[in-house]
Structure formats: C-alpha cells, structure tokens
Amino acid sequence: VGTGPGALNQITPAAQVAIAQADVVIGYTLYVDLVHPLLRPGQIVEATPITQERQRAQRAIALAQWGLTVAVVSSGDCGIYGMAGLVLEELRVTGWDGKTPEVQVFPGISALQSGASRVGAPLMHDFCAISLSDLLTPWEMIEKRLHAAAQADFVTALYNPKSQSRTTQIAIAQQIFLQYRDPKTPVAIVRAAYRQDEHIVLTTLADCLDAPIDMLTTVIIGNQSTRLHGDWMITPRGYLGFGS
Ligand code: SAH
C-alpha cells in the first residue's frame, strides 16, 4: 500500500481503506507512525527498522499464507523503489501461482509528484527518475543512466540523493548534468514534502550542492526550457511555442 509523501490527506481513499481493514499492518517504523491515525484496535502492527525489507516481505507472505489480510505500507508509491516489487519477487521465488495468496497493489503519490507540486509544475514535459543509491545497483549503471537522461534533456528526479555514508554520488551527478546542461538550469531541492519538517530550496544546477540534501530529499533538475518565476518552477509544455 502506497502511503504518499507523509500527510494523511495525501493517501488515496482506497489505500486508507486497505490499511484500516487489514488484519496486519507491516512497515518501516517511520511510515507505520505516519498512518497511525488510520489503525484500529485489534490490528496486529509490526514496525521494523529501515534495512529489513526482505524480512518484512517474507513475514507478510507468511502471514498471508495463514489467511490473514496483510497491508505492507510503503512510502510514496509502493511500486516505485518501494515494497510492491519486493513482495512480488519473494512470492515468485516461492513458486507462487499468481493467485493465492491474492495480491493487490494500491498506488500512492510518489516523491517526484509531491515534490513537484510544492514548487509548481517542473514535470510538465518528459521526465525520468534515477535513484542514486548504489546499494542494490552498480554505480556504473547509475552513471550511464545519468548521462543518458542529461543528454536527452529529460527533467530528472533524483531519489536517494545522499546519505551519511553516500556523499559523493550527488556531486558526480551534478558534474554529469553540467556536461550537457546550462549551469543556470533550475533545480528544486525538496525535503520531507507534505511533512511538518518540509524544507524547499529553489536553486540552479551550478549551486545545487549548497543546499542541504539528505535521504529525505528529492532533487528535481529542470530541462533546457525549465524556468524559475518567483517561487515557482515551470517546465513549458509548449502551448506558448518553443523557446518562449
Ligand atoms: N516509494 C517512494 C520512494 C522510496 S525511495 C516514492 O514513491 O516516493 C526513498 C526516497 O524517496 C528518499 O531518499 C527521497 O529521495 C524520496 N522521498 C520519499 N519521501 C519524500 C518526501 N516526503 N519528500 C521528498 N522526498 C521524498
């Protein structure tokens, strides 16, 4: 179940019902806390630390095989760097027939959408998402995708841009984009969108490393037509003609 960026009213009604009706709610502690007002007495709630994704998926499957309805909560959209894929992969390797236990994926508002909405409309033209986390993806592959996205002028949302142990990746990403894009290209640094500690900086490709960036941040790099207008970031769709 995708729980959106972190405000209760940004969760779809279908996802809210799925969480409220489940026998068991499983998730990373922070996200279980966020949906706490939706929980009801009698539900089994299992909140686990951030690194235990596989255990969480396997536990959910085991409980579902016992006949319980299990809601695995996952921030943003559960199918975008989220738990939906992992649960399905784990089911696949256990020889799942695709039907029992029954699976439903409840979409949520992903960080690139929630972040974009807070700064205006930066995703109005072709865009892509790249995660800078090389824990599960070889860094060479990530660099290849950064080059391709920068070269093809995609508006690009960088997920997992920086953690305490991964600090160089965002600087390399900036250097790659500077090879293809103007240093003045608008960049939005959106931290904790729709949460109480939300923090947003509008800056440029040249200066984007001056802003605080961490694991709760999504970095949105504009394309060659993206412009800043006051506190707004706008990527033209083309209605007003090219280059206006
Ligand atoms: N499934 C999630 C992404 C999980 S990966 C989704 O669809 O949004 C975790 C990354 O998502 C973070 O490192 C950050 O880049 C981004 N993120 C998640 N929630 C965010 C929020 N509220 N504000 C800004 N970025 C967020």
**If you measure from the C-alpha of residue 50 to the centroid of ligand 1, how many angstroms do you get, rounded to a whole number?**
13
Rounded Cα–Cα distance for residues 76 and 84 (Å): 12
* Percent of residues in the chain assigned helix, strand, coil, to nearest 5: 35, 20, 45
What residue owns the CA closest to ligand 1's atom 18?
Answer: 111
Rounded Cα–Cα distance for residues 176 and 170 (Å): 10
- Tens of pLDDT, residue by residue over 82-130, are 999 999 999 999 999 999 999 999 999 999 999 999 999 999 999 999 9
Rounded Cα–Cα distance for residues 104 and 95 (Å): 18
The sign of the dihedral angle between the CA atoms of 213, 218, 224, 225 is negative
Instruction: Enumerate the β-bridge partners of residue 186.
Output: 204
**If you measure from the C-alpha of residue 242 to the centroid of ligand 1, how many angstroms do you get, rounded to a whole number?**
32
Atom of ligand 1 nearest to the CA of 190: 24
**If you measure from the C-alpha of residue 99 to the centroid of ligand 1, how many angstroms do you get, rounded to a whole number?**
30
28 lines ligand 1 (CB under 6 A): no
**If you measure from the C-alpha of residue 8 to the centroid of ligand 1, how many angstroms do you get, rounded to a whole number?**
16
159 lines ligand 1 (CB under 6 A): yes
| Residue 30 pLDDT | 87
Average pLDDT, the chain: 96
The residue type at 76 = G
| Residue 125 pLDDT | 97
226 lines ligand 1 (CB under 6 A): no
Measure the CA angle with vertex 1, ends 128 and 133; round to 5°. 40
User: What percent of the chain has pLDDT above 70?
Assistant: 99
215 lines ligand 1 (CB under 6 A): yes
Does residue 235 contact residue 122 with C-beta atoms inside 8 Å?
yes
Measure the CA dihedral 82/148/207/193, to 10°: -20
Which residue ranges in the chain fall short of pLDDT 50? none
Q: Any alpha helices (H) in the chain, and if so which ranges? A: 13-21, 29-34, 53-65, 83-93, 111-119, 139-151, 169-180
- List the one residue out of 116, 104, 113, 175 whose CA is nearest residue 143: 175
